[in-house]
Amino acid sequence: MSDDATPKTTNPLAGLSLTFLAADATAGTAPIAAAAASGGPVAAPVVIVGSGPAGLTAAIYTARANLAPVVIGGVVGGGQLMITSEVENYPGFPDGVQGPELMSLFRRQAERFGARIVDADVDRVELGSRPFRLWAAGVEYHADAVIVATGAEALWIGLESETRLRGRGVSACATCDGFFFRDKEIAVVGGGDSALEEALYLTHFASKIHLIHRRDAFRGSKIMQARAASHPKIQLHLNRTVEEVLGAEHVEGLRLGKTDGPGEEELKLDGLFVAIGHRPNVAVFRDWLETDEKGYLRADGATTASNIDGVFVAGDVDDHRYRQAVTAAGEGCRAAIDVERWLEAQQAQEVQRAQGAPEATASGARTATSR
């Protein structure tokens, strides 16, 4: 340790003294600010787009691999956990942790290893050739490899009362929050398989579930409809819309409108789960990267590689099944390892070209093409 390095924290652990140094919060972004001021591009081996669990985990791993990642995290970073109150199913927090606090810890850990995080939205990308080019807040970024971890956002009804009571009885994730409603009466709104699955899952906790749909029939699969209709804890409310979430400090009920006639009705309950779908954040990448039938980015399955060689995807932007912070973090780890190995393969090919040897094709390599 150098003479001017000041110990900040010392923790005894099984007789060992572990000393950590506080990172300089401004050191990592200084080169970016200088490049922005000069009007020149910011170059990095890896640019990560997104600062949720996937993006920041990828940042931690790539930073520890000395790849000096730049994270373009968005104006409002942190992903869906920033609007999540209590998180009780993330490993390592036996007493639970607030969503924003968890993401703050992710960010601090990434910055500790040298990740440079920019709080801006990506406006445009050019992925047709390397280095890849991205633009955010008027600054151009060049990258040898890109990890897209922009996530997906839950679709909401759009009510002021719904927004006000998010985290106070309003949720969009039964797996995350169902436990908090043990022996409570709650509602699920939606008409597809997601709503039916969430309602059935919540029967493990709630005393009664009101399943609300604006049409006269559900859109979900017949088998899921049959299971929901026959479950003793689920009551169906067809031709009904949620007009207001009732309650001042927490959910106390719903005011429902009718689509098959005049009038309204009220339900007294303790929670509302909105299950009307998710929207992957793929707008700036849609012209370049392949998507599936639901609009999510495609990875090749065995790895996190996209259809463009050198571009990788991780987290909820390519996952419409699990949508959990821990699975997103795992995908961020996978993407970082894939990037590290891909860059090593590229360097090996450059050495071979310089020596005039036949080139070996990197495993999983694809051609950079626009869709």
C-beta neighbour count of 301 within 10 angstroms: 7
Catalytic entry in 119, 123, 144, 173: 173
Catalytic entry in 121, 144, 177, 319: 177
- With cut-offs at 50, 70 and 90, classify the pLDDT of residue 81: confident
List of residues 6+ apart from 111 with CB closer than 8 A: 23, 25, 28, 117
Mean pLDDT for 112-135 is 97
Mean pLDDT for 9-24 is 36
Does residue 363 register a pLDDT over 70?
no
Rounded Cα distance between 17 and 305, Å, is 41
Read off the DSSP letter of residue 362: P
173 catalytic per annotation: yes
C-beta neighbour count of 265 within 10 angstroms: 12
Q: Domains of the chain, with CATH numbers?
A: 9-153+279-355 (3.50.50.60), 160-276 (3.50.50.60)
How many angstroms separate the first and last alpha carbons of the chain? 51
pLDDT digits (tens, 9 = 90+) for 161-202: 999 999 999 999 998 899 999 999 999 999 998 899 999 999
Catalytic entry in 144, 176, 270, 318: 176
Task: Provide Rg for the chain, Cα atoms.
Answer: 24
Residue 267 near residue 256, CB atoms below 8 Å: yes
Task: Give the angle 276-297-51 at the CA atoms, nearest 5°.
Answer: 85
Mean pLDDT for 319-332 is 93
Residue 368, pLDDT score: 45
- The H-assigned helical ranges of the chain are 30-38, 53-64, 99-112, 160-164, 174-177, 193-202, 222-230, 325-355
Which pTM does this prediction carry? 0.76
Rounded Cα distance between 288 and 132, Å, is 12
Mean pLDDT for 241-250 is 97
